[in-house]
Amino acid sequence: MPDYDDAISFYCGTLGFSLAEDVDQGRKRWVRILPPGAETGSLILARAENDAQRRAIGDQFGGRVGLFLATDDFARDHAAMTANGVTFEEDPRHEPYGTVAVWRDPFGNRWDLIQFT
If the chain, 117 residues long, is cut into consecutive pieces of 10 residues, what is the mean pLDDT of each piece? 94 95 95 90 93 92 94 96 96 98 96 97
> What integer pLDDT is reported at residue 78 of this predicted model?
97
Asked whether the CA dihedral 110, 46, 1, 24 is positive or negative, the reply is positive
**Which residues are bridge partners to 43 per DSSP?**
33
pTM, full prediction: 0.91
Cβ–Cβ < 8 Å for 77, 113:
yes
43 in the same domain as 17:
yes
Counting the structural domains of the chain, the total is 2
Domain boundary among 34, 57, 80: 57
Using a 10 angstrom Cβ sphere, with 0-12 exposed, 13-18 middle and 19 or more buried, the burial of residue 63 is exposed
1 & 50 share domain: yes
DSSP per-residue string spanning 41-97: --EEE----SHHHHHHTT-TTTTS--EEEE-S-HHHHHHHHHHTTPEESS--EEETT
In this prediction, residue 35 carries a pLDDT of 93
Q: What's the CATH code of the domain at 72?
A: 3.10.180.10
Residue 106 domain boundaries: 62-117
Give the pLDDT score at 39: 78
Both 1 and 53 in one domain: the answer is yes
